[in-house]
Chains A and B, each alone.
Chain A
Amino acid sequence: MDTEAGRDQMAVEADALTKAFGDVVAVDGFDLRVRRGEIFGLVGPDGAGKTTTIRLLTAIMLPTSGSAAVLGRDTVAEAEAIKPDIGYMAQRFNLYGDLTVEENLAFFADVFGVTGDERDERIDEALRFAGLEEFRTRRAANLSGGMQKKLALAATLVHQPQVLFLDEPTTGVDPVSRREFWEILTDLHLAGITIFVSTPYMDEAERCSRVGLMFRGNTIVTGTPRSIRELMGGEMLEIQSADLRAARSVLEACEVVREVQAYGDRLHAFVADAAADRPAVEKALADAGIEVTSVRETLPRMEEAFISLIRQQQEARGG
């Protein structure tokens, strides 16, 4: 346990952290600061380097260059000093399927040196937190996907870590379990635990106190969800039409529209002021003879901001 509270307020620091696998650079000059007590969301598409970043931060992978520190301890020189204070939940189910829920938790409690009465207390508490009390004696392999995730989370809690690293903890989990999982995370956050979570889901990113958008091995933006939404600037018109393809080319040619994104059966047109620019947009569509089912004024969400940022990156590199 770190008794030098306040010595270092940073839970996670990364400086030019780089990891290359042969010619492939998975993490490329990654810089980051995460303060204690934050829920930090690392958001990005598949292959952006999220898993590699988490492995580097949890001190189980050596960086090619650059450095990182967790709770003020270097991930290379002081790797073993970090481990008692962190919890790590991999994307894949990494516990023992042939052991029961309780046996899995007991094993990790033992390995972390949690003994005696405290051991039983911690196991009970972790089970309660994860809502797995009635499944104590069930083998882990026989749990549903959502419950396996909760068990994996519970296993990272038995030693009371200060920082939790969760790698896409809700990927492949049904919406109800996902919601329950995030309720647990919120409780943990309120209990003062720093949470570093990677996710491909924007609605989850919205729940974080700060997020970083990772793309091709580095963050292209970090900030609070609100500040990232504001990056997009302006407002948004949501347009429904029978002919999306034609509508899109008209909108892209329209002067007041900065950017167009397709979203299912709708188009999102980004403008400076939705109310003021709406007539011009509707007129352009009408002039082109495109039938519009509905137009709705709204504010861009983080998802739109990220898509826009990634597109800019791709154009900058590709062009």
Chain B
Amino acid sequence: MLERIRAVVRKEFLHIVRDPRTLVVIVLIPIIQLVLMGYAATTDIEHLRTVVLDRDRSADSRALIDSYRASGYFEITAYAENEDEVGQLIDRGDARAGLMIPTGYGRELAAGRVGQVGFVIDGSDPAVANTILGASQSVGQAMALKLVEQQLGGKDLQVALIEVRPRVWYNPELKSVNYMIPALMGMILQFLATMLTALAVVRERELGTLEQLMVTPIQPIELVIGKVLPYVVVAFLTLIEVLTFGVLWFDVPIHGSVLLLLVLSGLFLFTSLGLGLLISTVAHTQQEAMLISWLFLLPSIFLSGFFFPIDAMPTFLQVASLFVPLRYLLTIIRGIVLKGVGLEAVAMDVIALIVFGVAVIGLAAWRFNKRVE
């Protein structure tokens, strides 16, 4: 048995080595995805292009504009003469937000009344708009607080103020890259493992070599293990690649045990590889295998909580997400990397992964037999 598994493993490595272009793609894809995710798929905002319409032109209005600028979120890139101009700049995308200060703003403040300013936000990207909204309000409130202090200054008046001091745990700077990169490791594992396995088996079916193997004493489980092992190694190497790149380049802190992370990722690998095998028992051509893989993988991106929080989904999607193994891995990875939790905190997710792994590989082995249809 071991002899035959070794023979298949050796042969499979030869296939990988003899096809350097695919190898390059396997190594590069994670890096490309990492860079894209790290830089592009972030909802953090900094230096947002902002247009200002200052009708008041007073010391107070200038102070307000300065406080927006000083926050770091906003960069004043244009001054408009009227509201139409503000609209045009946002329409064209030259500005993402507009601050409009009406005439009499300074006078209202001086009179102790509420100084109203307008703030326009380009809401075409809701995630970014949400962040801008929060930032614009907090800058305004900070300014208001300062004004209150100024007005009370000198007078000996007791004013009760409640100050809420939020402290963000695990990811204090709320850097979305810290949240995305661990998840990306899970997604890359899932994609690589599922597709590579499905393609490797279907390729043999297409070439007819699978038929040749059926006439040998090799057992399905030996063939399956032999074909899958080399891809376990490849997927693991890319996992380490992503981890290293994430830590060194994006400064993602790993709070938990790297060993636990690798072991549990390995567990997840078997689920993904099993899924690939299962697909290979259904698909007749490599094209079919690719399409079926996408059919499984695409929903898993959205249902796993990769981009959108599962808690925010409607109930039926939350239920559906229970059948997405990636969901459990993401909880595990984010837990270990961001919170530094141990095995006991993610025990339920680990059990879920084991159940999926056994079910998928069992199903694949049952479907995989030594007969031609």
Nearest CB of B to A278, in Å: 52
Q: Which residues of A contact B212 (CB under 8 A)?
A: 88, 90, 94-95, 155
Q: Which residues of A contact B216 (CB under 8 A)?
A: 83, 108, 111-112
Are B3 and A110 in touch, CB under 8 angstroms?
Answer: yes
Q: Smallest CB-CB separation from A83: which chain B residue?
A: B217
Given contacts A113-B3, A115-B3, contact A98 B217 (CB under 8 A): no
A42-50, A57-65, A241-249: which lies at the interface: A57-65
The 0/1 profile, CB within 8 Å of A marked 1, for residues 1-33 of chain B is 001101110110011001100000000000000
B211 within 8 A of A: yes
A92 within 8 A of B: yes
Partner of B372, one of A61, A96, A97, A111: A61
B209 within 8 A of A: yes
Q: Binding site of A, secondary structure by majority: helix, strand, loop or mixed?
A: loop
Are A84 and B217 in touch, CB under 8 angstroms?
Answer: yes
B117 within 8 A of A: no
Nearest CB of A to B284, in Å: 15
Partner of B371, one of A60, A87, A96, A108: A60
A277 within 8 A of B: no
Are B4 and A111 in touch, CB under 8 angstroms?
Answer: yes
The 0/1 profile, CB within 8 Å of A marked 1, for residues 283-309 of chain B is 000000000000000000000000000
Q: Which residues of B contact A112 (CB under 8 A)?
A: 216-217
A79 within 8 A of B: yes
Q: Which residues of B contact A90 (CB under 8 A)?
A: 208, 211-212
Which parts of B205-227 form the interface with A (CB within 8 Å)? 207-209, 211-218
Given contacts A55-B372, A61-B372, A113-B3, contact A94 B208 (CB under 8 A): yes
Q: Smallest CB-CB separation from B19: which chain A residue?
A: A98
B370 within 8 A of A: yes
Partner of A92, one of B11, B208, B218: B208
Bound together, the chains give a CA A84 to CA B6 distance in angstroms of: 19
Are B6 and A98 in touch, CB under 8 angstroms?
Answer: no
B contact residues vs A (CB 8 Å cutoff): 3-4, 6-8, 10-11, 14-15, 18-19, 207-209, 211-218, 370-372
Q: Known A-B contacts: A94-B212, A99-B15, A110-B4. Give 4 more (CB < 8 A).
A: A84-B217, A90-B208, A90-B211, A95-B212
Nearest CB of B to A149, in Å: 14
Bound together, the chains give a CA A84 to CA B212 distance in angstroms of: 13
Q: Smallest CB-CB separation from A99: which chain B residue?
A: B14
Partner of A94, one of B3, B207, B370: B207
Are A103 and B14 in touch, CB under 8 angstroms?
Answer: yes
Nearest CB of A to B53, in Å: 67
Are B215 and A83 in touch, CB under 8 angstroms?
Answer: yes
Which parts of A76-92 form the interface with B (CB within 8 Å)? 79-80, 83-84, 86-88, 90, 92
- 10 residue pairs bridging A and B, Cβ less than 8 Å apart: A60-B215, A60-B370, A60-B371, A60-B372, A86-B215, A87-B215, A90-B211, A92-B208, A96-B11, A115-B3
Nearest CB of B to A202, in Å: 27
Q: Which residues of B contact A113 (CB under 8 A)?
A: 3-4, 217
Given contacts A96-B11, A96-B15, A98-B15, contact A111 B213 (CB under 8 A): yes
Given contacts A88-B212, A94-B209, contact A111 B7 (CB under 8 A): yes
Q: Which residues of A contact B15 (CB under 8 A)?
A: 96, 98-99
Q: Smallest CB-CB separation from B226: which chain A residue?
A: A111
Nearest CB of B to A210, in Å: 23
Q: Which residues of B contact A58 (CB under 8 A)?
A: 215
Partner of A98, one of B4, B14, B208, B372: B14
Q: Smallest CB-CB separation from B18: which chain A residue?
A: A98
Q: Which residues of A contact B209 (CB under 8 A)?
A: 94-96
- 4 cross-chain pairs, A with B, having the tightest CB-CB distances, nearest first: A110-B7, A94-B212, A88-B215, A94-B208
Given contacts A60-B371, A98-B15, A103-B14, contact A111 B215 (CB under 8 A): no
Which parts of A140-156 form the interface with B (CB within 8 Å)? 155
Count residues of chain A with CB under 8 A from any CB of chain B.
31
Q: Smallest CB-CB separation from B219: which chain A residue?
A: A80
Q: Which residues of B contact A94 (CB under 8 A)?
A: 207-209, 211-212
Nearest CB of B to A162, in Å: 14
A93 within 8 A of B: yes
Q: Which residues of A contact B370 (CB under 8 A)?
A: 60, 79
Nearest CB of B to A85, in Å: 10
Q: Smallest CB-CB separation from B212: which chain A residue?
A: A94
Q: Which residues of A contact B10 (CB under 8 A)?
A: 107, 110
Q: Smallest CB-CB separation from B213: which chain A residue?
A: A111
Nearest CB of B to A269, in Å: 45
Q: Considering residues B15, B209, B213, B215, which has the most beta carbons from chain A within 10 angstroms of its beta carbon?
A: B215
Nearest CB of A to B371, in Å: 6
Q: Smallest CB-CB separation from B17: which chain A residue?
A: A98
Nearest CB of A to B254, in Å: 39
Bound together, the chains give a CA A96 to CA B372 distance in angstroms of: 19
Q: Which residues of A contact B207 (CB under 8 A)?
A: 94, 96-97
Nearest CB of A to B231, in Å: 17
Which parts of A148-205 form the interface with B (CB within 8 Å)? 155
Q: Which residues of B contact A55 (CB under 8 A)?
A: 372
Nearest CB of B to A111, in Å: 5
Which parts of A101-153 form the interface with B (CB within 8 Å)? 103, 107-108, 110-113, 115
Are B371 and A62 in touch, CB under 8 angstroms?
Answer: yes
Q: Which residues of A contact B214 (CB under 8 A)?
A: 60
Q: Smallest CB-CB separation from A141: which chain B residue?
A: B18
Are B7 and A107 in touch, CB under 8 angstroms?
Answer: yes
Partner of A111, one of B18, B208, B211, B217: B217
Q: Which residues of B contact A103 (CB under 8 A)?
A: 11, 14
Q: Which residues of B contact A107 (CB under 8 A)?
A: 7, 10-11
Bound together, the chains give a CA A17 to CA B317 distance in angstroms of: 52
Q: Which residues of A contact B7 (CB under 8 A)?
A: 107, 110-111
Q: Which residues of B contact A87 (CB under 8 A)?
A: 215
Nearest CB of B to A141, in Å: 10
Nearest CB of A to B222, in Å: 9
Q: Smallest CB-CB separation from A89: which chain B residue?
A: B212
Bound together, the chains give a CA A112 to CA B4 distance in angstroms of: 8
Bound together, the chains give a CA A309 to CA B372 distance in angstroms of: 32
The 0/1 profile, CB within 8 Å of B marked 1, for residues 279-296 of chain A is 000000000000000000
